[in-house]
């Protein structure tokens, strides 16, 4: 996706300004450089540049939010609201990683959605059995293993919906997104110790919920 013709075209859209828009400190990462260029164009009023960013990151941001907010519709709304918020606050972007900036906005939107869900509880994962959960790739030649992996994902996802929002958020950010404790503490506005505690307690809760199905995980 990063090398798609459309994005290459998008980056080339305003050739004369590309050099001017680069930050003074050289950005070695080509992805980050591309993101910064798109951000600058979006700041200048180019909606297409912003939508290029949306296209680049919407899949992974939705995956992040959907893990934090079990209800799929609420997750979609949260992601849409996050992109709205990002567009409104383009001027507030202070440099650095665009991906991290968008992730933070999405985590905030997801936590807002979690709070809203607490006020108006809904049935989690109403469409859990639909085809939105993609089967793992690379093991297609072993149907039995594929079924077992799918079942493991299903029960684990279901267990994740049953632990607290705070614990789920910490576990998703740590185990799935790969953030470290300090980053999670900053994102969620709690102390380092609280983040660690949420992760440990969340994992213990998951283990308690999955105790009868642990054979799926031990194989």
Partner 1 sequence: MSPLPHTHPDRDDTLVARLAADDIAPGSRDDTLARARIADCPACAELHADLQAIVAATADLPAPRRTRDFQLTDADAARLRRTGWRDVLARLGSPSFAFTRPLAAGLATLGIAGLLLATVPFTFLAAGSASAPEALPGTNGTTSQAGGGAPATASPGFTAAPAGPDLVASGAPNPPPAGSSPAPVANGTPLAAPSPGTGVSGGTTTDSTKDGGPLYLSASPSARDAAGTPPEVGHDASAGGGGPSALVVLSLAMLAAGLGLGGLRFVARRLG
Closest by CA to 42, choosing from 89, 96, 108, is 89
Stretch that binds partner 1, among 6-14, 26-34, 111-119, 169-177 (CB under 8 A): 169-177
* Interface residue with partner 1, options 44, 140, 147, 204 (CB under 8 A): 204
**Cα dihedral across residues 136, 142, 148, 151: positive or negative:** positive
Q: How many CA atoms lie within 13 A of 119 on its CB side?
A: 5
How far apart are CB 218 and partner 1 at their closest, in Å?
6
Smaller CB distance to partner 1: residue 16 or 88? 88
How far apart are CB 26 and partner 1 at their closest, in Å?
26
Query: What is the spatial distance between Cα 93 and Cα 82, in angstroms, rounded to a whole number?
Result: 14
- Regarding 101 and contact with partner 1 (CB under 8 A), the answer is no
Residue 120 phi/psi, 5-degree rounding, is -125, 80
Smaller CB distance to partner 1: residue 29 or 59? 59
Query: What is the spatial distance between Cα 162 and Cα 157, in angstroms, rounded to a whole number?
Result: 9
**Cα dihedral across residues 91, 78, 109, 105: positive or negative:** negative
Give the total of residues touching partner 1 (CB under 8 A).
51
Smaller CB distance to partner 1: residue 37 or 42? 42
Q: Which of residues 107-166 bind partner 1 (CB under 8 A)?
A: 132-136, 152-153, 156-157, 160
Query: What is the spatial distance between Cα 84 and Cα 78, in angstroms, rounded to a whole number?
Result: 10
Residues constituting the chain: 219
Contact 132, 162 (CB under 8 A): no
Instruction: Return the C-alpha torsion angle 150, 184, 68, 82, nearest 10.
Output: -130
Q: Which of residues 38-97 bind partner 1 (CB under 8 A)?
A: 47, 50-51, 54-55, 58-60, 62-63, 66-67, 72, 75-76, 79-80, 83-85, 87-89, 91-92, 94
Q: Under the rule (CB under 8 A), what is the footprint of partner 1?
A: 47, 50-51, 54-55, 58-60, 62-63, 66-67, 72, 75-76, 79-80, 83-85, 87-89, 91-92, 94, 132-136, 152-153, 156-157, 160, 171, 175-176, 196, 199-201, 203-204, 206-207, 210, 214, 217-218
């Amino acid at each position: 996706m990063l090398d798609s013709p459309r994005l290459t075209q998008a980056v080339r859209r305003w050739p004369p300004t590309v050099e001017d828009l680069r930050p003074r400190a050289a950005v070695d990462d080509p992805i980050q450089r591309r993101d910064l260029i798109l951000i600058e164009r979006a700041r200048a009023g180019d909606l297409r540049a912003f939508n290029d960013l949306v296209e680049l990151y919407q899949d992974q941001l939705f995956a992040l939010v959907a893990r934090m907010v079990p209800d799929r519709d609420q997750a979609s709304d949260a992601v849409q609201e996050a992109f709205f918020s990002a567009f409104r606050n383009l001027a507030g972007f202070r440099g650095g990683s665009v991906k991290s900036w968008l992730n933070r906005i999405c985590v905030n939107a997801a936590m807002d959605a979690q709070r809203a869900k607490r006020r108006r509880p809904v049935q989690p994962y109403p469409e859990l059995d639909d085809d939105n959960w993609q089967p793992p790739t690379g093991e297609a030649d072993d149907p039995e293993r594929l079924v077992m992996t799918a079942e493991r994902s299903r029960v684990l996802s279901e267990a994740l919906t049953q632990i607290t929002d705070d614990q789920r958020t910490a576990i998703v950010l740590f185990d799935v997104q790969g953030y470290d404790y300090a980053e999670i503490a900053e994102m969620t506005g709690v102390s380092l110790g609280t983040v660690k505690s949420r992760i440990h307690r969340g994992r213990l809760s998951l283990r308690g919920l999955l105790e009868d199905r642990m054979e799926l995980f031990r194989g």
